[in-house]
């Protein structure tokens, strides 16, 4: 059986030796291993894929004896469960559905929830439950409570905002700390509001991109997981820029999901360390 072991703590000499010693004494084989030290903050980060029979609580206890005050997480290698949230744009949602269907994204999609109904046919083509929860005439809290009644019992590993175009309240975010992943164009905060691609076109931008991040209680200010950019020029219309932007959004979101489901992400000081 394979497991992913994540450890972060204050840095000091001998940490790799101490961790490896515990794994060796418990007859684990280390298949891959990465470390990183944030020298400015004296923080140590460690990720290993290990093979063997694991009593997770016992292993955690033994590591903490060697490395007191460490944050130790152990994840069994398994297919992660995703719940997707959307509004009306199909590109990000459709890309995830196709990659899951083809096996390029090794996840279980347990449902899609949306505040518009136009994506129902797309989702149901993949035999995935679609839940339409309209927001009209409801407060944000009322709308979110209806969604939580559906999402919480499924116990998802991650919630993916596939262009879900409503701001989530702290009440919703706190239910899933560091489990909600959002994708947006990298123009924020320079191009805020309606039609950012038209705004970017009007300013003559030369680079457009996208950012995937965890959601926190500050709008579009959560820890960044993945980013990428592409070059554009004056010959492109804003509609052509939007198409290019949608392509990069799909790529960046897919990469971020892959990093999350492979347990490669440490969240630290409102940023991420990826190992």
Catalytic residues: 220
- The tally of CA atoms less than 13 A away on the side-chain side of residue 262 is 15
Sign of CA dihedral 48, 212, 220, 203: positive
CA-based nearest residue to 160, from 81, 79, 247: 81
Burial 41-74 (b: 16+ CB within 10 A, else e): eebbbbbbbbeeebeeeebbebbbeebeebebeb
| Cα 14 to Cα 37: distance, rounded to the nearest angstrom | 13
Burial 137-167 (b: 16+ CB within 10 A, else e): eeeeeebbebbeeebeeeebbbbbbbbbeee
Q: Backbone dihedral region of 27: left (phi > 0), alpha (psi from -120 to 50 degrees) or beta?
A: left
CA 21 to mean position of chain CA atoms: 32
- Cα–Cα distances in angstroms (integers) from residue 53 to residues 176, 203, 257, in the given order: 29, 58, 27
Residue identified by tokens 């684990």 is 28
CA-based nearest residue to 106, from 211, 257, 226: 257
């Amino acid at each position: 059986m394979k497991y992913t072991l994540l450890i972060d703590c204050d840095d000091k000499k001998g940490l790799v030796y101490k961790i490896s010693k515990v794994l060796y004494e418990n007859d684990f084989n280390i298949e891959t291993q990465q470390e990183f030290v944030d020298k400015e903050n004296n923080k140590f980060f460690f990720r290993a894929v290990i093979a063997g029979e694991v009593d997770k609580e016992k292993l955690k206890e033994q590591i903490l004896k060697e490395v007191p005050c460490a944050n130790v997480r152990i994840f069994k290698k398994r297919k992660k469960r995703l719940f997707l949230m959307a509004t009306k744009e199909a590109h990000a949602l459709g890309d995830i559905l196709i990659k899951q269907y083809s096996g390029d994204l090794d996840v279980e999609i347990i449902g899609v929830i949306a505040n518009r109904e136009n994506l129902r046919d797309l989702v149901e083509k993949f035999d995935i439950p679609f839940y339409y929860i309209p927001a009209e005439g409801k407060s944000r809290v009322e709308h979110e409570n209806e969604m939580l009644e559906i999402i919480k019992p499924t116990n998802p590993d991650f919630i993916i905002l596939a262009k879900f175009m409503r701001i989530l309240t702290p009440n919703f975010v706190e239910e899933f700390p560091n489990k909600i992943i959002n994708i947006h164009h990298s123009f924020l905060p320079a191009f805020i509001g309606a039609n950012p691609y038209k705004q970017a076109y009007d300013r003559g931008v030369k680079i457009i991109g996208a950012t995937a991040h965890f959601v926190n209680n500050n709008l579009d200010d959560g820890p960044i997981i993945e980013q990428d950019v592409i070059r554009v020029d004056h010959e492109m219309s804003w509609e052509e820029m939007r198409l290019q932007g949608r392509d990069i959004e799909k790529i960046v979101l897919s990469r971020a999901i892959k990093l999350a489901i492979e347990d490669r992400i440490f969240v630290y000081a409102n940023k991420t360390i990826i190992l």
